[in-house]
Structure 1
Amino acid sequence: MEQAWDKFKENTTVHRLVALCLIILVLYAARSMMNTILLTFIFTYLIVHLIRFTQKKIPSLPAQVIVVLAYLLVIALIYFAITIYVPILIKQIIKMSHSLIKFYQSDDMNWVSRYLSHYISNSEITTQAKHGVTILVHALTNFGTLTIAFFMSLIMSFFYTIELNSMTEFSHTFLQSRHLSWLFEDVAYFGNKFVNTFGVVLEAQFFIALCNTAMTIICLIIMRMPQIIALGLMVFILSLIPVAGVIISLIPLSLVAYSVGGLRYVIYIFIVIMIIHAIEAYILNPKFMASKTELPIFYTFVVLLVGEHFLGTWGLIVGVPIFTFLLDILGVKSVKKKKPQILKIEDKK
């Protein structure tokens, strides 16, 4: 028995596979906390990245000072958003809803109303209305849960980053375990791989989303479209979804454009979105995806569909980084090493 255990520990491929299966089981068991886990990881990654970047420019600046200043800035931005931005956003969404309702009640859409009233009975409308109320209540509940997860993630990431050196030193002690050092080494190995892959892909997609949003807002301002802030926020959130986000944003943008300037504005929006998509595909992706982790469009859509099925909305955002991580550990497509790492673990051959 002892010889079999020693052989198991010596076989790197087998015990890494076992460690990966254990990690997946633990994450599956903690799936109800997935919002908190993913948000904590993202906040921690961003702050650690900020610490590394700032200390390269100003080596004498302590990490704790950087963390405190960063979170004070985050708190100030949250306060600004709640007191100033959110009321403006709500007003613009209400105006957008009114304009869309007015558009559907216009003479151009009378034939749609007649067609729907001819084929849909009052009982079906009542059923759909009840279903809509259920969806609304569910959405409000999810929003409350996500808000709690957001603030919990901020607190947890703050305590992790404020004691970054202590956390790293304490984490290294697990590698000295007499019986399970192999397991903790494998966890650190996969952790470093995931941080590296996730950081490269998500960081690139974040900058691409910023560029897409900036270009779209400039075009909307030139076209004198209403509710610029609400539309800009929508475009930014959808742009975090690789490839599909730009296409999905066409639907609400086209509806608003038609209510403002008719079919001519819809054509303008299509041209604008196609130009922005071309810039993303041929300029932004090659520039930001420096490690060549981009996927063919077919694979991207498949990954998004599978990710949404298993992880919901989060799957649309983190599906591609997770798939790229799997390609990396399988040796199909490696990712260039990028700091920050969790622990420095040498790759065993």
Structure 2
Amino acid sequence: MDTAWQKFKNNIPLRRFVVLLLIIACLYEIRAMMNTVLLTFIFTYVIVHLIHLVQRYFPKIPTGLIVAVTYLIILALLYFVVTIYLPMLVGQISKMVKSVMAFYESNESSRLASHVTRYISKGEIVTQAKRVGTFALHTVTNFGSLTIATFMSLILSFFYTIELDRMIEFSKLFVKSGYFKWLFEDIRYFGKKFTNTFGVVLEAQFFIAICNTALTMIGLAFMHMPQIIALGLMVFILSLVPVAGVIISLIPLSIIGYSVGGIRYVIYIFIMIMIIHAIEAYVLNPKFMASKTELPIFYTFLVLLVAKHFWGTWGLIVGVPIFTFLLDVLGIKSAKKSKKKASK
């Protein structure tokens, strides 16, 4: 028995394969917390790289001060959103409700209803209304869970980065343990590879969010929408959110567009958002991901299509990182990194 166990520990490829299966099984068990896990990783990755960037030019600045100032800026931005953007959104919603009620009480609504029922049966209208209601409820529920996940991720990333040096030293104790030293070494091995892979893709997603915001603000400027800067900030932040970003950004834009130009502007905004996110999914994603991961555009495009088919919106975010991670683990291809990052 001891000989078989020793052979297993010495067989590094088999051992790492088993550890990888254990990691996948653990992630599957905590799939309900995947938003929190992913957002915590993203926030921590960004803050840690910000710390390294600042300390590269100002090495005497302590880590705690950088983290404290960064999170104070984040809190200030959240305060700006709550105190300025949300009241504006509530005002636009109230205007939209009044407009809908006025339209419902007018004669035009009865005329429209008669034209609709002439071509569509009442049962089909009821079915579609139920579907819309279910979709709206699901969207609100996702938004609430995503808000909680974001809040918890900010807290977790703050506690990790505020004691970054201590966290690094404490984590090294697991690798030095006597009983399962090999297990923690393999976890660290996969953790480093995934961090490098996902970090590269995170940079690409940041540039994609910038392009998204620029295109959206140009479209809103042509439509003479109010407070373009605030709306652009919202679009940029939501472009970094993997799952519900598209839907959440479309809802407030449609509400504000309806109060400005009526249903015609809602249609314009819907078409604009669909075009922009089609460009993101099938042009920007393959281009930026291919340049960062050194994958041919054909492979990147194919991975995005397959991942989107199996995982939906998540596939456009995690498809290329997982594929690049598997290539790296198999020794086929590694993600492109700068020499400084590689040396670190």
TM-score (norm 1): 0.75
> Could you say if the C-alpha distance between residues 145 and 216 of structure 1 is closer, same or farther in structure 2, counting changes exceeding 3 Å?
closer
2:195 corresponds to: 195
The number of equivalent residue pairs is: 329
Structure with greater helix share of residues: 2
Identical aligned pairs, as a percentage? 48
Does the CA-based 8 Å contact 2:48-2:161 persist in structure 1?
Answer: yes
Instruction: Give the Cα separation in 2 of the matches to 1:287 and 1:150.
Output: 25
1:297-340 per-residue CA deviation (whole Å, 9 max, x = no partner) reads 232122122222xxxx5444333323332232223331134699
Instruction: Look up the equivalent residue of 2:66 and give its one-letter code.
Output: I
Instruction: Look up the equivalent residue of 2:119 and give its one-letter code.
Output: H
> Could you say if the C-alpha distance between residues 296 and 302 of structure 1 is closer, same or farther in structure 2, counting changes exceeding 3 Å?
same
Give the Å deviation of 1:56. Answer: 0.4
The one of the two structures with greater contact order (alpha-carbon pairs below 8 A, sep at least 6) is 1
Instruction: Look up the equivalent residue of 2:74 and give its one-letter code.
Output: V
Larger displacement relative to structure 2 (297-306 or 188-197): 297-306
Residue ranges of structure 1 left out of the alignment (5+ in a row): 345-349
Does the CA-based 8 Å contact 2:174-2:184 persist in structure 1?
Answer: yes
1:33 aligns with 2:33: yes
Instruction: Give the Cα separation in 2 of the matches to 1:26 and 1:187.
Output: 12
Aligned pair partner of 1:303 in 301, 307, 328: 307
The CA RMSD over aligned residues, in Å, is: 4.6
1:292 corresponds to: 294
Give the Å deviation of 1:132. Answer: 3.8
> Could you say if the C-alpha distance between residues 284 and 219 of structure 1 is closer, same or farther in structure 2, counting changes exceeding 3 Å?
farther
Instruction: Give the Cα separation in 1 of the matches to 2:203 and 2:99.
Output: 36
Instruction: Give the Cα separation in 1 of the matches to 2:325 and 2:144.
Output: 31
Instruction: Look up the equivalent residue of 1:207 and give its one-letter code.
Output: F
Does the CA-based 8 Å contact 1:9-1:182 persist in structure 2?
Answer: yes
Give the Å deviation of 1:180. Answer: 1.2
Instruction: Look up the equivalent residue of 2:220 and give its one-letter code.
Output: L
Give the Å deviation of 1:231. Answer: 7.4
Does the CA-based 8 Å contact 2:213-2:232 persist in structure 1?
Answer: no
Does the CA-based 8 Å contact 1:212-1:236 persist in structure 2?
Answer: no
2:16 corresponds to: 16
TM-score (norm 2): 0.76
Instruction: Give the Cα separation in 2 of the matches to 1:323 and 1:216.
Output: 30
Aligned residue runs from structure 1 range 1-349, under 5 A: 1-92=1-92, 114=115, 117-122=118-123, 124-125=125-126, 127-225=127-225, 228=228, 229-230=230-231, 233-234=234-235, 237=238, 277=279, 281=283, 285=287, 289-293=291-295, 295-308=299-312, 313-337=313-337
Instruction: Give the Cα separation in 1 of the matches to 2:33 and 2:285.
Output: 37
Give the Å deviation of 1:12. Answer: 1.3
> Could you say if the C-alpha distance between residues 76 and 116 of structure 1 is closer, same or farther in structure 2, counting changes exceeding 3 Å?
same
Does the CA-based 8 Å contact 2:216-2:232 persist in structure 1?
Answer: no
Instruction: Look up the equivalent residue of 1:119 and give its one-letter code.
Output: I
Give the Å deviation of 1:123. Answer: 7.5
Does the CA-based 8 Å contact 1:16-1:186 persist in structure 2?
Answer: yes
Larger displacement relative to structure 2 (190-199 or 5-14): 5-14
